Amino acid sequence: MDTTKVLLVKYGEIALRGKNRRMFQKQLTRDLQRRLEELGGYRIVLEDGRFVIERSGSASGEMEYESVLSCVRTTLGIVGFCPCTRTRELSLENIIRLVLDYIRDNYNDFACSFKVETKRANKLFPVRSYDVSAAVGEAVLNSFPPSRVDVHNPDVVLNIEIRHSAYIYSKVVPGLGGLPAGSSGRGVLLLSGGIDSPVAGFMMAKRGLALEAVYFNSPPFTSERALQKVLDIAHKIAGYSGYIKLHVVPFTDIQTYLYESVPREKLTIFMKRAMLKIAGILADRCEAKCVVTGDSLGQVASQTIEAISAIDASCSITILRPLAGLDKHEIISIAQKIGTYEISVRPFEDCCTIFVAKHPEIRPKVHIIERMEAKLEFLPEKVRAAADAAYAHVFLYGSSRAEL
Ligand code: ATP
Ligand code: MG
């Protein structure tokens, strides 16, 4: 009998995408293919309107689900992976045999309740779904006597799909959902070594945003190890987004200039405005259409709605704050799931905490800030110089390289 182990890939939202669907499928295929390249011996094919991962023609041996899953599980845009057996010989007898073999392969004993669910997309197959389910159910009961049928609350659902081939599966390994990496354009992520911004980056990557990250580096106030922390975080996020370019911007000169020039309680607002101006320049250069930050409303003084407004007024680019409505414990729980939390809590200083005032202003007025900023005559040239002096690291899936 011709049977093959394959991994069926179920995607969620792209199915809804009408005209853009093909573009989304292409992006997803490319992402899966790149991940599988690292493993070798596998390919992804579009079969019967589904993505199927299978051994490539020349490769020998059966599919190894564990290693394939560890490679592709972090792919964005996928709702689930189904380890599955496929046959190209379409007959009821063959499908019954396929199901019985599948159970023997996947369950030690089959002393449980089950239900058979058949989808017959291929109407040339002469037996109706209901009759396939009934015939398979009977054969399972006969071959595995302790099992029983429960159509309402079964322990196991045996799914049979009859298309040009027939597929059987009963387990779904959940995927991350969202949209394929890079399918929603490009954004600049302000990435600090803290807990929040990595989560913000992940959440927007999950909505299909390709990320260029920016880190404002303030040596000697912040150390090499603080930078290393951000590099490690970018590396981690690239495991999901597939590709991240991290721009490291020298920020010390601007920070000390502002420290000497503006009232202490307003310093954070000016610093954040300078960060956004630089991010705006870098966004223009890489054709990014938005800036993403890890602000959460009310978390600290610079995150009141007045402070956020005063900061946003510094540039015209769209600013996304995906964490605005989340509590800290909700953010931490996502950080733990995506693996950035343990890096973020390494105890190294951040450029903002070093310069932060004891009593920062929480309700700044935009027009006052702007009037004061207009008097900072060296700021525009320092902003441009900082953007020009940025250098980048590129992270691709699991590997990284430095780039000037
Ligand atoms: P995080 O945990 O992300 O550091 P936070 O709660 O510490 O955030 P702030 O330090 O006020 O809050 O920073 C707010 C946002 O500003 C961050 O989420 C990040 O997007 C951006 N940001 C702050 N410092 C830097 C930096 N040194 N480099 C790049 N972005 C930064
Ligand atoms: Mg921070």
For 24-38, how does the pLDDT look when each residue is reduced to its tens digit (9 = 90+)?
Answer: 888 999 999 999 998
Q: How far is CA 241 from the centre of its chain?
A: 5
Q: What is the pLDDT of residue 57?
A: 78
Residue closest via CA to ligand 1's atom 24 equals 192
Ligand 2 midpoint to CA 372 (Å): 25
Q: What is the pLDDT of residue 352?
A: 59
The mean pLDDT value for 122-127 works out to: 95
Q: What is the pLDDT of residue 15?
A: 59
Distance CA 136, CA 91 (A): 12
Ligand 2 midpoint to CA 306 (Å): 19
Single pTM value for the model: 0.91
Q: What is the pLDDT of residue 47?
A: 82
Tokens 């997803």, residue located: 28
Ligand 1 midpoint to CA 259 (Å): 18
3-class SS of residue 399: strand
Counting atoms of ligand 1 from 1, which one is nearest the CA of 189? 20
Q: Which residue has the higher pLDDT, 298 or 32?
A: 32
> Which residue(s) pair with 210 in the sheet?
186
> Which residue(s) pair with 86 in the sheet?
4, 167
> Quick one: tokens of 122?
């291929």
